[in-house]
Amino acid sequence: TQLLEQSPQFLSIQEGENLTVYCNSSSVFSSLQWYRQEPGEGPVLLVTVVTGGEVKKLKRLTFQFGDARKDSSLHITAAQPGDTGLYLCAGRSSNTGKLIFGQGTTLQVKP
């Protein structure tokens, strides 16, 4: 069974601070995605990383895919209250194509 472990599960920080969320697995994924979910809504895709070692930037968010394609990180610089939400990593199984999600990281950014 392919599992994704996210850490930390909860993060409460002040506006302007930096943070990193980790997503780890013992399995190799063909690609890994990061989603953000707000209360009462479905997850919304932020980025997809495909190549081992790949780094993608989305404004203040930096995403990295591990060289072995087993882990990923999301770094947020100068967090803002609008960044508050549930952040989810999801790995695409090479065999079946289904998307497996981590447990999520709940981020609260206080003004």
Partner 1 sequence: GAGVSQSPRYKVAKRGQDVALRCDPISGHVSLFWYQQALGQGPEFLTYFQNEAQLDKSGLPSDRFFAERPEGSVSTLKIQRTQQEDSAVYLCASRFQDNSPLHFGNGTRLTVT
Binding site for partner 1 (CB under 8 A): 4, 6, 31, 33, 40-45, 48, 86, 88, 90, 96-104, 106
| Of 18 and 94, CB closest to partner 1 | 94
CB of 57 to partner 1, least distance (A): 18
| Of 62 and 93, CB closest to partner 1 | 93
Closest by alpha carbon to 35, among 66, 6, 3? 6
- What is the rounded distance in angstroms from the CA atom of residue 80 to the CA atom of residue 68? 32
- What is the rounded distance in angstroms from the CA atom of residue 38 to the CA atom of residue 74? 17
CB of 78 to partner 1, least distance (A): 25
CB of 10 to partner 1, least distance (A): 9
List beta partners, residue 21.
74
| Of 18 and 34, CB closest to partner 1 | 34
| Of 6 and 64, CB closest to partner 1 | 6
Neighbours of 22 (CB within 10 A): 16
Asked if 2 and 93 count as a contact pair (C-beta separation under 8 A), the reply is yes
CB of 70 to partner 1, least distance (A): 17
Structure tokens at 91: 């790995």
